[in-house]
Amino acid sequence: MHREESLESQSMSALAEKLGAPSAWRRALSPTGNTGDGVFRILMLLVALLMVGVVVAMVIALAVEAMPSIRQFGFSFLRGHAWNPIKGDFGALPFIYGTVASSLIALLISVPLSLGIAIFLVEQAPHYIARPVGFLVELLAAIPSVVYGLWGIFVLAPFARQYVYPVLQQLFGWTPFFRGTITGIGLLTGGIILAIMVTPIISAVVRDVLAAVPGSQREAALALGATKWEMIRVVLVNGAPGIAGAVILGLGRALGETMAVTMVIGNRPEVSLSLFDPSYTIASAIANEFTEATGDLYLSALVELGLILFLVTFIVNGIARVLVWNVTRRTGGVGRAA
């Protein structure tokens, strides 16, 4: 049956050549000369191109919807402080500040923690501990964002307000970062929730990166008389670009995280140095105000925020992928990034 098919396709291609169809073009579509292969390849290619199309359509659709706001404010949108739907005056600065600040707090907490977890799982724990414990850490990534938010509102925020933040204020109240009234809802709580959420992501990638560092590096360090920790430092230096990639990947996730942050950050568009004050992120502004936005300009200002978030996360993720790929490929390890 197969032979008949291929005979048929051969005669088809002979016919096509007689009719003057370019055979090189045919071969590019179906190197095997089989018609079914050509159809199959074209179908799969179309679906793959559909994905590229979706990304392009995203940029176009967001840009079109954001056009009224882009026309009205231009680049001053990025520096504007105001967020006044009644007057129709919109600026993104408070949201950009809140997004960047909460993500940086998250990374400050999460990066050392994730490095510790990855080192423990790759370099220290025996196999029978590393596997189940690694799975438990990964489960943290399986908890939905809205569940983190719920836990943040009712457990983390009251606990931090009562036991943690007053101590911080006593110790560091002389800096501008820990002043003001403590409500438990604010920038720092948002950052802590984000830290819990990105830790499993960063630690998983760092784990892959460390596992891809060749064993000979470890043996060489130990043979020169290094202690266990000194050996680990050699491994860390070897995996540095990949670790940087993991951190940037975590940053990309933190920048776009929506529900959990929306529920604990306080949602007030103000730029305040104090980490106890309420803040607002780009993602939470969209989540909160999109369905209530009255007027085209208000809505398109929110879409423009979305467009900014899209472009920033796209670039950040692109950089992270390149960094992680380079390490896990160069050393022949198997990259399982995120």
Partner 1 sequence: MANYDRIRRANSAFMTTLTGLCTLLAVGALIIILAHIAWQGIGSLNWQFLIDRPRPVGEGGGIGNAIVGSLLLLLISSAFGLPLGICVGVYLSEIGRGRLGGAVRFIVDTLTGIPSIVTGVFVYAIMVVPTKHFSALAGGVALALIMIPIVARTTEEMLKLVPHSLREGALALGAPQWRVTVGVVIPAAASGIATGAMLAIARVSGETAPLLFTAFGSRFFPESLNQPIASLTVQIYNYAISPYDEWHAQAWAATLVLMTLVLGINIIVRFLTRKKF
Considering only 133, 234, 244, 273, the residue that binds partner 1 (CB under 8 A) is 133
Considering only 5, 8, 219, 296, the residue that binds partner 1 (CB under 8 A) is 5
Residue placing its CB nearer to partner 1 in the complex, 101 or 338: 338
If one asks whether residue 249 binds partner 1 (CB under 8 A), the answer comes out as: yes
Which part of the chain contacts partner 1 (CB under 8 A), choosing from 15-23, 55-63, 173-181, 212-220?
55-63
- Extract the tokens encoding 122: 């790759």
If one asks whether residue 65 binds partner 1 (CB under 8 A), the answer comes out as: yes
If one asks whether residue 61 binds partner 1 (CB under 8 A), the answer comes out as: yes
CB 115 within 8 A of CB 206: yes
Considering only 72, 145, 183, 217, the residue that binds partner 1 (CB under 8 A) is 145
**Contacts (CB under 8 A) with partner 1, residues 316-335:** 316-318, 320-321
If one asks whether residue 221 binds partner 1 (CB under 8 A), the answer comes out as: no
Contacts with partner 1, 258-297, as mask; x by CB under 8 A: xx---x-------------------x--xx--xx------
Max intra-chain CA distance, the chain: 89
Secondary structure (DSSP) of 17-47: HHTT--HHHHHHH-TT--HHHHHHHHHHHHH
Residue placing its CB nearer to partner 1 in the complex, 144 or 166: 144
**Contacts (CB under 8 A) with partner 1, residues 24-43:** 32, 34, 36-37, 39-41, 43
Cα–Cα distance for residue pair 47/53, rounded to 1 Å: 10
Give the total of residues touching partner 1 (CB under 8 A): 97
- Extract the tokens encoding 54: 């979706």
Which part of the chain contacts partner 1 (CB under 8 A), choosing from 82-90, 120-128, 213-221, 237-245?
120-128
Query: Quick count: other Cβ atoms within 10 Å of Cβ 91?
Result: 19
Cα–Cα distance for residue pair 30/34, rounded to 1 Å: 6
Cα–Cα distance for residue pair 244/246, rounded to 1 Å: 5
Name the minimum Å distance from CB 290 to partner 1: 5
Name the minimum Å distance from CB 114 to partner 1: 8
Of 270, 243, 9, 271, the C-alpha closest to 112 is: 243
If one asks whether residue 137 binds partner 1 (CB under 8 A), the answer comes out as: yes
Name the minimum Å distance from CB 273 to partner 1: 26
If one asks whether residue 257 binds partner 1 (CB under 8 A), the answer comes out as: yes
* Chain mean position to CA 304: 19
Considering only 211, 247, 255, 327, the residue that binds partner 1 (CB under 8 A) is 255
**Contacts (CB under 8 A) with partner 1, residues 147-166:** 147-151, 153-155
If one asks whether residue 238 binds partner 1 (CB under 8 A), the answer comes out as: no
- Extract the tokens encoding 322: 């390149």
Long-range CB contacts (within 8 A, 24+) of 214-218: 214/331
CB 94 within 8 A of CB 266: no
Backbone angles phi, psi at 89, to 5 degrees: -115, 120
Considering only 15, 21, 136, 171, the residue that binds partner 1 (CB under 8 A) is 136
* Chain mean position to CA 55: 16
DSSP secondary structure code for residue 144 in this structure? -
Secondary structure (DSSP) of 99-137: HHHHHHHHHHHHHHHHHHHHHIIIIIS-HHHHHHHHHHH
Name the minimum Å distance from CB 175 to partner 1: 25
Residue placing its CB nearer to partner 1 in the complex, 189 or 203: 203
